[in-house]
Structure 1
Amino acid sequence: MAVIQALRTALFYFIFIGQTVIVAIVIGTIALIGGRTPASWALAKFWCRSTLAYLRALTGVKTKVSGLENIPEGGCIIAAKHQSDWDVFAIFPHTGRPAYIVKKELMRIPFFGWAARSLDCIEVDRRKGAEAIPLMMAQAHAAVERGCRIVIFPEGTRKAPLSPADYRQGIVRLYMELGVPVVPVALNSGLFWGRNSAVIWPGTAEAKFLPAIEPGLASNVFMERLKKAIETDSDQLILEADENGLSRPVDPEMRRKLDALRQSYQNA
């Protein structure tokens, strides 16, 4: 089973990487000539949806997205848990005109970086720490004025399922300065397509848009509500997937975490 799944994963990566290069070159070229265009957005949505289709056909990973009714009209911030590359593809098609906050290194890649800028991506130089915040804010304000919804992964990087939460201050600054609702997004994708995983395992990866947090809260109150919403619902999605049966191997440490989490819910 593992060998077959590894071969299916390798085939997926071959097609995925090849298509990504082609799409980046096309959108990047369009960006150099015409800037932001409807054609670029159409290609980006095709890239996301086709990637999810290849993922299902070749590796057995299904996609389920719920709670779309919780996305408000107009400007907002979408703050998602981040466990997998799947998160980007699953969230993108449902956010209208998204402006993803991405690390600066990605924006320096030829064609890919040009394409990302034409798709309203906001760059942040994590090496500068707090000094990077003002530039990020300026780009975020401009994106909101263009009608974008800001998409951010508050922990800044992919984390393994049930890893300790590590939320950065960038989401708080965005919330305080932009004055728009924040929609938390819980997910369990890391169970199937983990960070730097050599094997992608079959199952149903889920993303759940949760009720929006209204603007105007104190920073500490906002952060507490955001973390509680994302972490609680992500844990529940992970437990439900485990109860339905996981095809991936579960090492003793992961099993211990799952059992402890399940016990905590039973004792609550």
Structure 2
Amino acid sequence: MLAIRSALFNIAWYVNIIVQMIVQAPFYFFLKHETALSVPRRWAHTSHFLHKWLAGTVHDIQGIENVPDGGCIIASKHQSVWEFYSLYALLKDPCFVLKAELMKIPFFGWYVAKVNQIPIRRGDKSKAMRKMLADSKVAVDGDRQILIFPEGTRRQPGAEPNYRYGVTRMYLECNCPVVPVALTSGLFWPRRKFLRYPGKLRARFLEPIMPGLSAEEFSAELERRIEEACDQLYLETSLDPVHPPLNDAVKARIEIAKKRNEELKTNA
């Protein structure tokens, strides 16, 4: 049954995005920026519907009230395709930092270009960093929310953190709040795997890290907040009556979360 539901969802998910891009293309590129943003949001909402009714995965997204009204950076854990479109749909005027190669995909790349995202060409790292920082400053000054994955690429749930310096440079350059995001999407939508597991997929927007920290202080605080929150979300997932398989790394992180919770109770 799991394989059948996964197959149905995967087929429906791809058909959904292809059909929506083709059907909406004749008028999408003539829309104003604010109106054009409703198109990827519609895709996200229909994808959530398919995820729930075909794969049995419900979404529990918490803490969206922690996102400031003005320009800011959303620094999210990255475990699957899910957060690429789901987090985007929650924000007022989101702006993704993404690989420039994605812009070359027919239709998809054209849609992305329409809503002014920040593509990164990884060949010349110093030049790419300078352009990313300049584009990010423009976006924040325009009251947009920049979505960035601090580890750069998808990571397995429970894997050792590998936070890169780009988000720290962006924090220092833009001088704006950074909202960390923890999630469990990789448990339900595993990387490079066919199966899509049922249960409650959680994402949590944490309290923003305000400007004023040094590079070292910010990097440490961002990693600590995201990783500890992910540990807690893994623990909550393990207590659900229905949840996906938990690998050894996630189980170890759950034990860390339990010990941390006990220490907090003792010190309260």
TM-score, with structure 2 as normaliser: 0.90
Q: Secondary structure at the match of 1:126?
A: coil
Q: Report deviation, 1:162.
A: 0.7
Which one of the candidate residues 52, 62, 65 is aligned to 1:56? 52
Change (3 A) 1:35 1:105: farther
Q: Which amino acid aligns with 1:257?
A: A
Q: Report deviation, 1:198.
A: 1.0
Q: Report deviation, 1:60.
A: 0.6
Percent identity of paired positions between Structure 1 and Structure 2: 34
Q: Report deviation, 1:137.
A: 1.7
* Structure 2 match to 1:257: 252
* Structure 2 match to 1:173: 169
* Structure 1 match to 2:11: 14
Q: Report deviation, 1:24.
A: 3.1
Q: Secondary structure at the match of 1:34?
A: coil
Which one of the candidate residues 72, 78, 91 is aligned to 1:95? 91
* Structure 1 match to 2:266: none
Where does structure 1 lack aligned partners over 5 or more consecutive residues? none
Deviations 1:171-205 (Å, cap 9, x if unpaired)? 01110111110001111111111111210100111
Q: Report deviation, 1:98.
A: 0.2
Q: Kindly indicate whether the alpha-carbon contact (under 8 Å) linking 2:235 and 2:254 is maintained by their aligned counterparts in 1.
A: no
Q: Secondary structure at the match of 2:124?
A: helix
* Structure 2 match to 1:34: 30
Change (3 A) 1:97 1:263: closer
| 1:144 is aligned to 2:145 | no
* Structure 2 match to 1:24: 21
Equivalences for 1:1-268 in 2 at 5 Å? 4-25=1-22, 30=27, 33-34=29-30, 36-251=32-247, 253-254=248-249, 257-258=252-253, 260-262=255-257, 264-265=259-260, 268=263
What is the aligned residue count? Answer: 263
Where does structure 2 lack aligned partners over 5 or more consecutive residues? 264-268
For 1:265 and 1:163, the matched residues in 2 are separated by: 19
Change (3 A) 1:153 1:28: farther
Change (3 A) 1:12 1:142: same
Q: Kindly indicate whether the alpha-carbon contact (under 8 Å) linking 2:93 and 2:145 is maintained by their aligned counterparts in 1.
A: yes
TM-score, with structure 1 as normaliser: 0.90
Q: Kindly indicate whether the alpha-carbon contact (under 8 Å) linking 1:61 and 1:205 is maintained by their aligned counterparts in 2.
A: yes
* Structure 1 segments (4+ residues) deviating >6 Å: none
Change (3 A) 1:134 1:87: same
Q: Kindly indicate whether the alpha-carbon contact (under 8 Å) linking 2:150 and 2:164 is maintained by their aligned counterparts in 1.
A: yes
